[in-house]
Each structure stands twice: as C-alpha cells, then as structure tokens.
Amino acid sequence: MSTILKDVMQTNSGHPASTPGAMQAYRASVLHFTNDPAFHNDAHAWFEDGLLLICDGKVLQVGDYVALKSTLPDDVTIADYRGKLIIPGFIDTHVHYPQTDMIASPAPGLLPWLETYTFPTERQFSDLNHSSQVAHFFIDELLRCGTTTAMVYCTVHPQSVDAFFTESSERNLRMVAGKVLMDRNCPEFLRDTAESGVRESEALINKWHKKGRQLYAITPRFAPTSSEAQLQLAGELARAYPDTYLQTHVAENTDEVAWVKSLFPKARSYMDVYDHYGMLRPRSMYAHCIWLDDADRARMAATQSAVAVCPTSNLFLGSGLFDFPRADSEQMLLSLATDVGGGTSFSMLQTMNETYKVARMGGSYMPALRMFYLATLGGARSMQLEGVIGNFAIGTEADFIILDPQATPLLARRTANTNTLEELLFALALLGDDRTVLATYAAGRQVHQR
C-alpha cells in the first residue's frame, strides 16, 4: 500500500462508516471538480475507468483504476459499477421541507401563493409528529434524487427544527437548517416576536449547530415578514455566532420588490435592507437574486454572500430569469437550488435542465460541465464547505452518488451515441431525474438504492 493511503487511513478513525477502518472501493467512471469551469481550464478531473477509495466515511483516494488497483491491500473487494458514473452528492442550497406536501400548487405569483398555500401548510408544523413524518419523507426524497446536503427552511415552530435535525442526524447527513423568523405581515398563527425569535434561534444553535454533521442557519423568511427590530436582532445573532449560516429570500418578484420599497423607504435597494443589518457575510445564502442591480451584486461578491439560483421555482411562479452573465462579471458565489415547494422538482438534474433554459433565454449558454460544478463544488464553496464536501479531495466526507446513463430507455438510447463528456453530462442533465440515481452514499454509507 502507498504511504499516502496508509497515512489517511490512520488519521480518519472515529467517523461512523460501515465498518471502522475498513476500506471501500468503487470502480466506475468518476467525475469531480477542483474549480469553476467558467473561469479555469483544468477545473475537473475525469477518470473514465476510475476508482474511488473510502475509509471511515472519508475519501482516501481517487484516480485511474489501473494506477490505483496495485496500491490496494489484497482483501479489499471492489464494487463494480463499470458503465455508471460516480460524482459527489448534489448540494441543494435552498429548499423548504414543510412545503413538501404543497409542491405543484398553482397561484398567479409569489405573494398570492404564500397566502393561499404556504402559510396554511406551514401552520401544521406546530405538531412535532407531523413535522417528523414530513421530514422523514423529505429526506427520503432528497436521497432518491442524489442530494446529500441541503440548506433547509423549517417553519416558525422550533419543534419543526428538532424534527428535521433528528431525522438528518439519524442518517448522518451533512445538513443546514433553521427556524423561520417572522413577526409581521403574516397570519397570527405563524408569528413569533423579535425577542422570542432570537431566543428560540439561539437555543436551537446551542442544541444543533455542529452536532455531528448538523449546521444551523439563522432564517429570517424575507424582509417583508420581519420588523426592523427582528432584522436588527437577527443581524446581532449572526455576529455573535459567526460560524452559523444565514439564509433568506431577496429580489424574487417585482411585486415583492415594490413592497419592500414601501416598507423600507430609506434603503437604497432590497439587498441594502439586509446589508444595513449586517447580514452580508460568508455563509449567508440569498435565494433568487433576480431583481438585483450591479451595486447589489458587487456587495454580495465583496462580502462572500452567496446566491441560490432557483430556476424551476422562478419559472413556475413567473418570478423572472436569473442573469448569469451579470453575476459572473462580478464573480458572485453561485449555487443551484430547487426551492421546493415553489420549485417543481426535488431533482438537481431537473434543476440543471431548467438552468440551461434560463441561461439560454438570457442570451447566454451554460455548459453541462458548469451545471454539474454548480450542483456540487459550487454549492460547497457557496457554503464555505470546500474541503468538507463537494468534491473528492483526499479527506473530504464521502458523500457520493452513482448515476446510471441507462436509467430509462430514452437516456440509454441517447447516451449510447454521445461522443464527449460534455455531451454525456448534457444528456443526463436534460433527460435525467430521480430514476437516474442508482445509489446514494453519505459519509461512506449507502443511504439509498434504486
């Protein structure tokens, strides 16, 4: 065995994998990213006949099968997935687990959709049993779609957060979630107060943040449903706990933007409201970002605040088209997200499908290679988790999926005559969905198999 393999095996004990200290080996085509292909030439590694080695829930080595095979101890069994593709697990940077049961509910735009469907649905999460049942189904659905990490909104009820993290930690998943803060412009039954919201959030931080693989996100729903006092306290909480996450919505819909202008007449822009309260910082995730101006984009880039681009939701609710060229000219941190239940699919492959079309409608072209980057390492970078998840760098947590290019008759027929990696990935992104995900692994343990 090579000395590198021995070293990593010795330092990786203590992480729950199938058998502590046992090496797992997977043979397949392997793809992962080390950089953003939009800005770098050597941004990905592709091993057509590749091998991924895992030990104690972490990546031990990745490379060509032929080169690595001779370094393996004799007793290692190799799982043979030739003809399939191994990539890092998908990262969905914006999704609402309580909205699972109201996915595909029609409404003429964001604000009526919130009033008619979202608020009554979220009311049910005052009940811990209901929360646990939905969290269980939601996590099953993520794993079926190959999503191993998500940034998740719970509801205003602290018990909805307990239910989610309990389900996630039982499966040893790397998840980020938080209690929604909202103290105005919403039904009485979903309202906290500036003080109770921050007190309950702090208690949840102490209970869940960095417990195993769980991470906490301070979650003001969006500027219209928080008073100035609540935004002030949320910003203070973010400063008091700088390694927690912060997530909210911004500039999704023109009616929403006009509403924010009337509620915060002194702010330069919608994003400026959040900036005023100190909410632009690394580990803050802003969903949508459609109706920003260049000053907003520059502020987000300068503060390492990230964007969760949500194309299926934006098309479904008629919110608008994300502007990729403008975002890239500011080198903003970009990631892809489903935004279920505004989004219409849990699948990050289907999210790529719509990403491609949104980019085309904006006059630009999004290669499949970049979409796979955005759904893996791009998400990890947006969450400041590079080196932890998002690619197969040695020592990263072994969250990975196996994609089947023959998953459906049409995919099989199309991928039988793709000539390049780009063509293969493009077919998977445009034609793939949950059926394409043969198996999902979290920290080296299988958590889904078709």
Report the interface residues with Zn ion, using CB under 5 A: 287, 339
In this chain, which residue has its C-beta nearest to Zn ion?
Answer: 339
Which partner, ligand GUN, Zn ion, none, binds residue 222 by CB below 5 to 8 Å per kind? ligand GUN
Where are the strands (E) in 316-395, listed by range?
Answer: 333-336
158-170 and 128-144 helices cross at what angle (nearest 10)? 40
Angstrom distance (rounded) from CA 257 to CA 14? 49
> What residues from 322 to 341 belong to the interface with ligand GUN (CB under 6 A)?
339
Is residue 96 a contact residue for ligand GUN (CB under 6 A)?
yes
> Measured between alpha carbons, how far apart are the two ends of the chain, in Å?
34
C-alpha of 351 from chain center: 11
Is residue 219 a contact residue for ligand GUN (CB under 6 A)?
no
Q: Which is nearer to ligand GUN, 122 or 397 (CB)?
A: 122
Q: Which is nearer to Zn ion, 183 or 339 (CB)?
A: 339
DSSP 95-122: EEGGGGGGTT---SSHHHHIIIIIHHHH
Q: In whole angstroms, how close is the CB of 37 to Zn ion at the nearest point?
A: 27
In this chain, which residue has its C-beta nearest to ligand GUN?
Answer: 342
Helix (H) or strand (E) holding 445: strand 445-449
Name which of 45, 36, 153, 40 is nearest 92 in CA terms.
Answer: 153
| β partners of residue 252 | none
Count Cα neighbours of 264 within 13 Å in the Cβ-side half-sphere: 23
Angstrom distance (rounded) from CA 76 to CA 5? 13
Q: In whole angstroms, how close is the CB of 110 to Zn ion at the nearest point?
A: 9
Q: Which 8-state DSSP code applies to residue 117?
A: I
Which partner, ligand GUN, Zn ion, none, binds residue 110 by CB below 5 to 8 Å per kind? ligand GUN
State how far the alpha carbon of 51 is from the alpha carbons of 54, 79, 400, in Å.
10, 10, 13
Helix (H) or strand (E) holding 185: none
| β partners of residue 306 | 285, 333
* Neighbour tally for 80: CB within 10 Å: 11
Is residue 222 a contact residue for ligand GUN (CB under 6 A)?
yes
Which partner, Zn ion, ligand GUN, none, binds residue 252 by CB below 5 to 8 Å per kind? ligand GUN
Is residue 342 a contact residue for ligand GUN (CB under 6 A)?
yes
Q: Which is nearer to ligand GUN, 44 or 221 (CB)?
A: 221
Residue 262 one-letter amino acid:
S
Q: In whole angstroms, how close is the CB of 319 to ligand GUN at the nearest point?
A: 8
Is residue 345 a contact residue for ligand GUN (CB under 6 A)?
no
**Dihedrals phi, psi of 198, to nearest 5 degrees:** -75, -35
Angstrom distance (rounded) from CA 32 to CA 204? 34
Name which of 308, 234, 340, 216 is nearest 278 in CA terms.
Answer: 234
Is residue 110 a contact residue for ligand GUN (CB under 6 A)?
yes
194-208 and 228-240 helices cross at what angle (nearest 10)? 20
Could you tell me the two tokens for 108? 């003429």
| Span of 110-118, 142-150, 184-192, 425-433 interacting with ligand GUN by CB under 6 A | 110-118
Q: In whole angstroms, how close is the CB of 288 to ligand GUN at the nearest point?
A: 7
275-314 mask for ligand GUN (x: CB under 6 A)? Answer: --------------------------------------x-
Is residue 221 a contact residue for ligand GUN (CB under 6 A)?
yes
Which partner, Zn ion, ligand GUN, none, binds residue 338 by CB below 5 to 8 Å per kind? none
Q: Which is nearer to ligand GUN, 171 or 221 (CB)?
A: 221
Q: Which 8-state DSSP code applies to residue 114?
A: I
246-275 mask for ligand GUN (x: CB under 6 A)? Answer: ---x--x-----------------------
162-201 mask for ligand GUN (x: CB under 6 A)? Answer: ----------------------------------------
What is the size of the binding site for ligand GUN (CB under 6 A)?
Answer: 11
Q: In whole angstroms, how close is the CB of 343 to Zn ion at the nearest point?
A: 8
Residue ranges binding ligand GUN (CB under 6 A): 96, 110, 114, 118, 221-222, 249, 252, 313, 339, 342
